Chain A
Amino acid sequence: MSMNNDMLEAYLFEMHSLLEQLDDLVLAAEEAHTFSQDDVNEIFRIMHTIKGSSAMMEFNSLMTIAHRIEDLFFVIREKTMDAISDELKPEMFDLIFQSIDFFREEIEKVETNQPLSTSIDTFLDKINSFSAKISGEAEDEPADEPADTPQHGSAPTAEEAAFASAEFPYGLHVYFDEGVGMENLRAMMLINSVKDYCEESQFDYYPPDVQMNPETANFIIDNGFYIRFRTAGDREEAVPAVKDNGAVRNWQVFDAPEASPAPAQKAAAVQAPVAVEPEPAHVEEPAPAHAAVQQAAAPTAAKQAHVKESLISVSLSKLDSLMAVISEIVITEAQVTASPDLKGLKLDNFTKAARQLRSLTDNLQDVGLSLRMVPVSATFQKMKRIVRDMSKKLKKETNLVLVGEDTEVDKTVVDSISDPIMHIVRNSMDHGIESDRAERIAAGKDPAGKIILSARQTGGEVIIEVIDDGQGVDDDAVLNKAIRQGLAQPGVEYSHKDILNFLLMPGFSTNTEVTEYSGRGVGMDVVKSNVESVGGTVTITSERGKGMTTTLRIPLNMSIMDGMEVAVGDSIFTVPISDIQQIFKVSDINIIQDATHGEMVKIVDNFYSIVRAKEFYQLNGGVDNLDEGVLLWVESGDNSFCLFVDELIGEQQVVVKPLPDYVNNYGIKNYGVSGCTILGDGSISIILDVATIYSSQNN
């Protein structure tokens, strides 16, 4: 394939977003058991775009299938959904889902550089036979389309009004090669090449909506394509563009006053300024045959175009470098406004400006961060499809309820949780929801299973839960399996919690049969490692007979956090505020010593061990008496303890920076030194990871 990569990339991006759009649309329509006229138009438009782009990229299998589906929807659009009987509808939805899957597979092949499918005949037959069914049924009620033919005949008069206008008197009339296909897109490309010679404001063309409206292809086939210029000179210059276009069969020059193409034109030319000038007027002109459809389609199409234009895709690396610069600005701002040189000076204007700058940089930082944030809805929506397909396949009627879809998380987080969520949902469908409806009814549950996928934000974390109301985890079965797999020791007592943890261990899969969807031996352990790679945790709770809940807790943002600056001797450390439960002072009498010289302190009803930062890090300076320093009660995951430091310096929003590899190679991460940050005065503070400190202390 010799097309350039930019084009291919744009094509793939377009296809992905179209298919996603299509998937959503069809899922929603299936719930409503029918397509609205808008849906039909939209699907028609999407298929048309897929056909057009695929043809341009010479992906024939994609083009052919899209073409057939487009034809199918053309028929549906003509005859409306009422023409399709209720028995045929499920078949139609399946057919469309199959075609979406087909497109996806083909796109994947394009992405992985594999040859595309050549044997698409069976699928084509399927579509054709379905089309035949629809048309067959529709023929029973031909009364639906009486207006079609006569109006086609009358259309040209309206269209000829646009052949030339007072404003653009110098025209070119272009005919494309017969049977060349996609005339409207070729016209669009022709226009684009004309733009190289002539400014956009200096010419216009007819039909004006070649890009949006596939109907125009027929018009161009019948009547040719018109380009009109303000000046004769511009037209002269644009001629090469037309001449060089490979698809142009012939072309001729015409001027408005002569109204050359047809005699009828004369009358039209007079009307032209009124009828043609305003853009919207164009849209209503062509082919009034489908007036009802057109009017419905035009606003949607216009809206679509608008939405597209207001979004751009930016590479993540650019965003990252933007964030890096913003971080530096925030720090530099603090360095400037808190500069020691300013001490003792009374600078009213400076202070005012500095305050303004401060709020602006804060704003800038918020905006910068928000750029990387995307809602989880796209990931959640994908699960709808999975649940739908699996409920059909496994014959387990199940509803998926989405909660908090608009919760936003960092882009990298979304990417890394998408697979885990899919895995958990599949597990719930496969192992969780009972296969027998009677079993559910006997247990007093709704016969249809329910899976709730929820996202919510608390403090520094996003919590994603997958809750099913299935049969729950069978502790005995899991334990037996774990023993068989050598993960558990026979004869040892395991708690419910321990047993659930076996589910997260590598190579554990309780299903005796390997199914299409889950149980491939890779399972929850992959979920666990994926989530841990973005600093999150996975927990499972389950009650026999009631269902299972899998909870993913993921840090909201990994690059900026609220930190508490603490001093130990002459070192400054940053402890994430989200890990701090409480900060307090104690006196020696509250401290309990255990036999191994460990120290503990009692908070509410629990004892917590004390880790002295000074001793843990073997620092030289620092306070030894507990009543002279401060205790931070910290908690991260399941670990909770008290960290003893000299004093608190203050709370600060910090930009997390990794330490250089050179020093990381000394294994300091194992001692809870997870990164560093640059403070307002330019000095560096070490960020502590309390969970690692705890595990390191206990080893």
Chain B
Amino acid sequence: MSEENGLFARTDEARSALSDKVQETDEEKYLIFRSSNILYALSTAYVIEILNNVSITRIPMVPDYIAGVINLRGAIVPIVDFRLLLGRIPEEESCVIILDILDTSMGIVVDSVDQMVDISRSAILPVPSQNEHKLVSGMCTVPGGVSTIMILDGEALEHTHE
């Protein structure tokens, strides 16, 4: 981690420190993805890469939403099917987003990846009710658009097994 980020860590909350310089303008980069026709946003601080056509090895005796594990350049990475996690029926089309949440690697299966956007902190509104596994920490409107995005809490994702 660069010295620069180390400085941010002291002035800003630790999570957003992982993000880049956009911080200074109170904006954070988010990756927007689509799952069961709902748009979700996840801070790019967590996102490592996006994979298409991965072969997922199923693990026996785990809940449905654990899609299995993949071989990511020699590392064994667990994959969660985001659609099943939220109780939706998965679409045919899918791709995997690999995340690094507090040094733990994991992947989520989503329908498709949409785009990257900058969202200003002030634009994020609180969620009326804590539903959907408490994964959603806020909501906002796509900049310059009409649709609504759910902001995901990355750390909550990592704790889904608890």
Contact = CB atoms under 8 A, between A and B. Distances in A.
Interface stretch (B2-10, B68-76, B148-156): B68-76
Nearest to A665: B161
Interface residues of B, number: 22
Contacts, number: 73
B71 to A, nearest CB: 5
Contact of B61 (A327, A331, A668): A668
A660 B57 contact: no
A673 B61 contact: yes
Interface of B: 55, 57-63, 66, 69-71, 74, 76-78, 104-106, 158, 161-162
B60 A618 contact: yes
A683 to B, nearest CB: 6
Given A676-B76, A678-B71, 20 more contacts: A331-B74, A571-B57, A571-B58, A571-B60, A659-B69, A659-B76, A660-B104, A662-B104, A662-B158, A666-B61, A666-B66, A668-B60, A668-B61, A668-B62, A673-B60, A684-B57, A684-B69, A684-B70, A686-B57, A686-B59
A468 to B, nearest CB: 45
Contacts of B76: 657-660, 676, 678, 684
7 contacts: A659-B76, A663-B161, A666-B161, A676-B76, A682-B71, A684-B69, A685-B57
Given A659-B76, A660-B76, A678-B71, A671 B161 contact: no
Interface residues of A, number: 28
Residue with the highest number of chain A CB atoms closer than 10 Å, among B63, B78, B105: B78
Main secondary structure of the interface of A (DSSP, over half): mixed
B57 A662 contact: no
A405 to B, nearest CB: 37
Given A659-B76, A683-B71, A684-B71, A666 B62 contact: yes
A328 interface: yes
Interface in A612-627: 617-619
A661 B74 CA distance: 16
B95 to A, nearest CB: 19
Shortest 3 CB-CB distances between A and B: which pairs? A617-B60, A684-B57, A662-B78
Nearest to A325: B74
Contacts of A663: 59, 62, 66, 69, 78, 161
Given A328-B74, A663-B69, A684-B70, A668 B106 contact: no
A660 B69 contact: yes
Interface in A669-699: 671, 673, 676, 678, 682-686
A667 B63 CA distance: 11
Contacts of B57: 571-572, 676, 683-686
Interface in A248-267: none
Given A662-B104, A666-B66, A673 B162 contact: no
Contacts of A328: 74
Contacts of B106: 660, 662
Contacts of A660: 69, 76-78, 104-106
A642 to B, nearest CB: 19
B122 to A, nearest CB: 34
A678 B60 contact: no
